[in-house]
Amino acid sequence: MSAALELHRIGHAYFGQSVLNSIDLQIAPGEVVALVGPSGSGKSTLAHIAAGLVEPREGRVTPGYARHAMIFQEPRLLPWATAAQNIGFALRRAKLPRRLRPARVAEAARLAELEPQDLAKYPVELSGGMRQRVAIARALAVRPDFIFFDEPFTALDVALKRRMQDLVIAAAEEAQFAALFITHDLVEALRIAHRIAVLDLRGRGIAGLRILPGDPGARDEATTFALRQRFLTEDPLFRHIHDVDERRRP
Amino acid sequence: MTRILADRAARLLDFLWSGWAGLAALALLFACWQAGHETWGDFILPDPLATLGATWSLAISSESRGLLLLTAQRALAGFTLAAFSGAVIGIIAGYAPAVMRLARPLLTVVLGVPPIAWIVLTMMWFGTSGATVAATILISATPVVFVAAAEGIASRDRGLGTMAEVFRYGALGRFWFIDLRQAAAPLFPALALALGTSFKVAVMAEMLANAGGVGGALARARAMLDVPQALAWVVLAVIALVVVEYGLIRPMQAEIEGWRRAAQPWGVKK
Ligand SMILES: Nc1ncnc2c1ncn2[C@@H]1O[C@H](COP(=O)(O)OP(=O)(O)O)[C@@H](O)[C@H]1O
Ligand SMILES: [Mg+2]
The pLDDT assigned to B110 comes to 86
Domain housing A200: 1-66+147-156+177-250
The stretch A175-179 carries a mean pLDDT of 94
For residue B157, being part of any structural domain is answered with yes
The pair phi, psi for residue A166, each rounded to 5°, is: -60, -40
Number of domains forming the structure of chain B? 1
> Is B264's pLDDT higher than 80?
no
Structural domain includes residue A7: yes
pLDDT, tens only, A97-123: 999 999 999 999 999 999 999 999 999
What pLDDT score does B20 carry?
83
Q: How far is CA B202 from CA B76, B141, B148, in A?
A: 9, 11, 22
Q: How far is CA A235 from the centre of its chain?
A: 24
Q: Is residue A206 part of a domain?
A: yes
List the beta bridge partners of residue A182: A35, A150
Q: What is the mean pLDDT of chain B?
A: 89
Distance A47 CA to ligand 1 centre (A): 11
Give me the percent of chain B exceeding a pLDDT of 90. Answer: 51
Ligand 1 in contact with A45 (CB < 6 A)?
yes
Binning pLDDT at 50, 70 and 90, where does residue B11 land?
confident
Q: Does residue A246 have a pLDDT over 60?
A: no
A81 part of a folded domain: no
pLDDT at A250: 47
B188 pLDDT band (50/70/90 cuts)? very high
Work out the pLDDT band at B1, boundaries 50, 70, 90: low
Residue A130 counted as domain residue:
no
Is A153 or B11 the better-scoring residue by pLDDT?
Answer: A153
Residue A191 lies in a domain: yes
- The reply to whether B7 falls in a domain is no
Task: Provide the percentage of residues in chain A whose pLDDT is more than 90.
Answer: 79
Domain that holds residue B72: 45-255
Please provide the distance, in angstroms rounded to a whole number, between the alpha carbons at the two ends of chain B: 14
Out of A62-66, B65-69, B207-211, B213-217, pick the least confident.
B207-211
Q: Please indicate, yes or no, if residue A123 is contained in any of the structural domains.
A: no
For chain A, the domain total comes to 1
Size of interface A-B (CB pairs under 8 A): 54
Residue B73's CATH number = 1.10.3720.10
Whether residues A76 and B160 touch (CB distance < 8 A) is answered with yes
Report d(CA B189, CA B198) in Å as an integer: 14
pLDDT score of B41: 87
Residue B75 lies in a domain: yes
Provide the residue type at A184 as one letter: H
A204 falls within a domain: yes
CB A31 within 8 Å of CB A5: no
Instruction: Say yes or no: CB of residue A44 within 6 Å of ligand 1.
Output: yes
**Most confident option among A96-105, B34-43, B103-112:** A96-105
Q: pLDDT digits over A194-220, tens only?
A: 999 999 888 788 989 999 998 998 899
Q: Which residues numbered 162-191 in B keep a CB inside 8 Å of some CB on A?
A: 162-169, 173, 177-178, 181
Q: What is the pLDDT of residues A18-56, one digit of tens each?
A: 999 999 999 999 999 999 988 888 999 999 999 999 999
The CA B133 to ligand 2 mean position distance, Å, reads 54
Compute the mean pLDDT over every residue in chain A, rounded to the nearest whole number.
92
Cα angle A131-A132-A137, degrees, rounded to a multiple of 5: 95
Model confidence, pTM: 0.87
pLDDT of residue B270: 42
* In-domain check, residue A102: no
Q: Do A122 and B167 touch (CB under 8 A)?
A: no
Distance B162 CA to ligand 2 centre (A): 14
Contacts of B260 (CB under 8 A, 6+ apart): none
Residue A63 φ/ψ, nearest 5 degrees: -80, 130
- A135, closest residue in chain B (CA to CA): B163
**Residue A17: partners with Cβ closer than 8 Å, 6 or more residues away:** A250
Nearest CB neighbour to B263, from listed A53, A74, A124: A124
CATH assignment of the domain containing A13: 3.40.50.300
